[in-house]
């Protein structure tokens, strides 16, 4: 392949990668796009209005363990804290909390959002954020 051929090949790869990156940014990388509220991360020492704890061993209870309410209802401005004491991470609707981590988020976008939940026995959870 000549000089022009190698240059064109590199430019094509870079162009495709830039296009893919731009699309991921536009749709929010998580498949939910703009319709899923992302919340606002807050400092760990911020007082939580609502706290849920996932106990150690919850993943071994076969779906009969702790259940988050569905719908989970928050008001704009409220802070939710989810403490995961288990050794695996969980997708909890719009939130992900890793093993032995604590997630603290402030609700910012009103609406009702249903998505997958790896902790809830039904496999999904609805998050409703009111004004």
Residue 66, pLDDT score: 52
pLDDT at 61: 72
What are the φ/ψ torsions at residue 123 (nearest 5 degrees)? 85, 0
| Per-residue pLDDT, 86 | 93
Give the pLDDT confidence score for residue 22 in this predicted structure. Answer: 35
Strands 72-75, 124-130: parallel, antiparallel or unpaired by DSSP? Answer: parallel
CATH for 36-130? 2.60.40.420
pLDDT of residue 105: 92
Give the per-residue pLDDT at 38. 53
Per-residue pLDDT at 30? 33
- Tell me the mean pLDDT per 10 residues along the chain, length 131: 49 43 32 45 80 87 65 93 93 88 93 89 89 94
Dihedrals phi, psi of 92, to nearest 5 degrees:
-120, 75
Structure confidence at residue 64 (pLDDT) = 52
Q: Is the pTM higher than 0.85?
A: no
Give the residue among 117, 114, 107 at the shortest CA–CA distance from 68: 117
């Amino acid at each position: 392949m000549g000089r022009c051929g190698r240059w064109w090949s590199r430019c094509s790869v870079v162009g495709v990668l830039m296009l893919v990156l731009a699309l991921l940014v536009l749709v929010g990388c998580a498949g939910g796009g703009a319709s899923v509220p992302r919340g606002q991360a807050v400092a760990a020492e911020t007082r939580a209005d609502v706290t849920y704890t996932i106990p150690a061993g919850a993943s071994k209870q076969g779906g009969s363990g702790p259940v988050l309410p569905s719908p989970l209802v928050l008001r704009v401005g409220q802070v939710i804290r989810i403490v995961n004491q288990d050794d695996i991470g969980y997708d909890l609707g719009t939130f992900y909390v890793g093993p032995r981590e604590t997630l603290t988020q402030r609700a910012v976008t009103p609406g009702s959002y249903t998505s997958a939940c790896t902790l809830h026995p039904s496999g999904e959870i609805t998050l409703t954020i009111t004004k």
